[in-house]
Amino acid sequence: MSSLASIPEAREFSPSRTSVLLSIPLYVYICVFASLNIFVGVLWDISWHMTIGRDGLFSAPHVLMYLGSVFAGTFAGYQCLKTSFWGTPQEKSKSVHFWGFFYSSLGGLFCIWGSMAAITSAPFDDWWHAAYGLDVEIFTPPHTVLLMGLITIQLGAMFVVMSMLNRAEVIPGFTAEQNESRTQRLRLLFMISAGLLISLVHLFTSEFLSNSSGHRSFYYQISAFVFPLLLFSTGRASGHRWGRTIISGLYMSFMLVTNWIMQQFHAEPLLGPILNPVDHFQFYGFPVLVIVPSFVCDWISPRLKGRNDWIQALVLGLLFSLVYFVTQWYATEFLFTSPLARNKIFGSYTWYFGSDPNWEFRYAYRPRSIQKVADLIKGLGIALVVALATTRLALLWGKWMQRVVR
């Protein structure tokens, strides 16, 4: 009898996945989903230019990016209006008060501003194409407006989740296990949004991070500015023991899975001259193996617990730079020169349809791609200084993010 009586009690306190899922507002999921749409749209758009060449204002990748922007701005805007005019005092206390009578989360404001910038850039970009023809580089004026808007949305999605994670709210009626499950879900959403942010920033800096540049110090200088800044800040803000490693793994997964799926679809050039006929979307941007230095830094971090942030920045920045340099030096050489990388797994076969496929330096370093030893050492020294500075800044930014609750 006692065992039978305990069954209803066990069921009463067993965590409900549905209730935990619904305890997080819908607009939070929408903002993270919009962030995913934006990343996939940008990667698809780059591949579209490499494969087809011709696009328009409402090409499929553009529509996906704009939909992501609209979703983020609309749902964040709705949440802002709802809180401002119909919100309870408790809801308003969790929001940023601005312009006298509006209330919104900090992340929501970023999503609204980013959405406005991204949508505004669309007709500007269309006019630019009509006036000056096809783009030959990423950073044209309309693209710069678009990129800043998209990055702002990505940051907004991350801040939306981060503020809820930092509040560590205890939901009435939830068991301790349910509240912990909710916290873990928020932490995962935060790391997903952080991984998407790094993926997007990698795409925007990809012109400087080609495999053919992997034996030049400038490659490591750009990497030292981008990856420690984003990884050490979000890794600390996540509060997870292996935060940097998980975020790095998510970044690599987003890049690889999107590329692997995308290249399965038929596409062919619509502009001439066509020197390299292709029949499917081109793989773009094998991710850097930043997961390796991230794992090493996560492994060593507990030994630095309680140390001054300057000491942590010195140790972690130095360790990250050393492991990253060794890893990427050989990884880029393999991806660039090895026949084993010329397949749909690694994507090194990718080649723009307007370029000669028989170019002698397609799979070989040009003389200017190899630096003299003295110049390389000097350049790597600069990269190390940059990495130490960005690591210290990232730890400071990460600590600030841990305090954001609105």
pTM for this predicted structure: 0.88
> Do 372 and 322 reside in the same domain of the chain?
yes
**Residue 4 covered by a domain:** no
> Do 166 and 277 reside in the same domain of the chain?
no
**Residue 5 covered by a domain:** no
pLDDT in tens, 327-353: 999 999 999 999 999 999 999 999 888
Residue 9 has pLDDT above 90, yes or no: no
Q: Residue with structure tokens 């959403």?
A: 189
**Residue 15 covered by a domain:** no
Closest CA relative to residue 150, chosen from 26, 27, 42: 42
> Do 240 and 292 reside in the same domain of the chain?
yes
Show which of 176, 204, 232 is a domain's final residue.
Answer: 204
Residues in the chain: 406
pLDDT at site 369: 83
Percent of the chain surpassing pLDDT 70: 89
> Do 199 and 217 reside in the same domain of the chain?
no
Residues 6+ apart with CB under 8 A from 192: 32, 36, 250
**Residue 16 covered by a domain:** no
Which pLDDT band, with edges at 50, 70 and 90, does 137 fall under? low
Number of domains observed in the structure of the chain: 2
> Do 147 and 224 reside in the same domain of the chain?
no
Residue 26 has pLDDT above 90, yes or no: no
* Mean pLDDT of the 194-211 span: 91
**Residue 193 covered by a domain:** yes
> Do 385 and 305 reside in the same domain of the chain?
yes
Which pLDDT band, with edges at 50, 70 and 90, does 290 fall under? very high
pLDDT in tens, 251-262: 999 999 999 999
Residue 13 has pLDDT above 70, yes or no: no
**Residue 388 covered by a domain:** yes
Residue 138 has pLDDT above 80, yes or no: no
The conformation of residue 57, written as its DSSP 8-state character, comes to T
pLDDT in tens, 151-202: 888 888 888 888 878 887 777 777 778 778 888 888 999 999 999 999 999 9
- Give the C-alpha separation, 88 to 344, whole Å: 53
> Do 33 and 104 reside in the same domain of the chain?
yes
Under DSSP, is residue 270 helix (H, G, I), strand (E, B) or coil?
A: coil
> Do 355 and 392 reside in the same domain of the chain?
yes
> Do 145 and 272 reside in the same domain of the chain?
no
- Give the C-alpha separation, 61 to 67, whole Å: 10
> Do 231 and 200 reside in the same domain of the chain?
no
Show which of 160, 182, 204 is a domain's final residue.
Answer: 204
> Do 234 and 196 reside in the same domain of the chain?
no
Domain range for 268 is: 208-406
> Do 106 and 219 reside in the same domain of the chain?
no
**Residue 102 covered by a domain:** yes
Show which of 184, 204, 224 is a domain's final residue.
Answer: 204
**CA atoms within a 13 Å half-sphere pointing along the CA-CB vector of 106:** 12
The phi and psi torsions of 48 (rounded to 5 degrees) equal -60, -45
Where does residue 1 rank: exposed (0-12), middle (13-18), buried (19+ CB within 10 A)? exposed
